[in-house]
Amino acid sequence: MSINQLVYLSQSTRKMSAEDLNEILRVAKENNQRLDVTGSLFYNGGWFLQVLEGPLDKINALYKKIERDPRHKNSRILYNEPAKFRTFTRWSMNMTNLDDRQADKYAQLVEVIDAAKTDRKIGAMSPAVSLLKIFKE
């Protein structure tokens, strides 16, 4: 089945605690598994960056629901394209809190979020494409 990958950037409406993030992750994992959606969610200094991948209709409907969530605002789609393969095959959803500097790939991921915030490219690549590449490698 063909799949799409959607990447968006948004701002949290308040500072997220570890418990807040875990609660988002808990519900996301449960729902996404049912929808055949995989992906990853990154949080850094009040910004969310999320990758959703799965069947196009499922991804678009899920994004519409997530977008309305009052825990974040100003959501902006950076990327929504068909893909041959999933990048995050192992996770119905995964959370990386980049405010915790122990995070794997910390520097690269912070750079992606910074570039996305300011609409900057990283080399010749858009932030969303850079993000997907980090995890394909």
Our CB check for ligand FMN shows the closer of 64 and 123 to be: 64
Task: Quote the CA–CA distance of 15 and 31 in Å, as a whole number.
Answer: 24
Task: Quote the CA–CA distance of 112 and 134 in Å, as a whole number.
Answer: 10
Determine the size of the site formed for ligand FMN (CB under 6 A): 15
Q: Does 28 bind ligand FMN (CB under 6 A)?
A: yes
Please name which of 57, 45, 58, 42 lies closest in space to residue 9, comparing C-alpha atoms.
42
Our CB check for ligand FMN shows the closer of 59 and 115 to be: 59
User: Interacting stretch for ligand FMN, rule CB under 6 A, among 62-70, 82-90, 112-120, 124-132?
Assistant: 62-70
Our CB check for ligand FMN shows the closer of 11 and 125 to be: 11
**If 0-12 CB within 10 Å is exposed, 13-18 middle and 19+ buried, where does residue 36 land?**
middle
**If 0-12 CB within 10 Å is exposed, 13-18 middle and 19+ buried, where does residue 14 land?**
exposed
Our CB check for ligand FMN shows the closer of 121 and 135 to be: 135
User: Interacting stretch for ligand FMN, rule CB under 6 A, among 67-75, 79-87, 110-118, 119-127?
Assistant: 67-75
How many CA atoms are closer than 13 Å to the CA of 1, on its beta-carbon side?
A: 10
Site residues for ligand FMN per CB under 6 A: 24, 27-28, 31-32, 41, 48, 50, 62, 65-66, 69, 71-72, 93
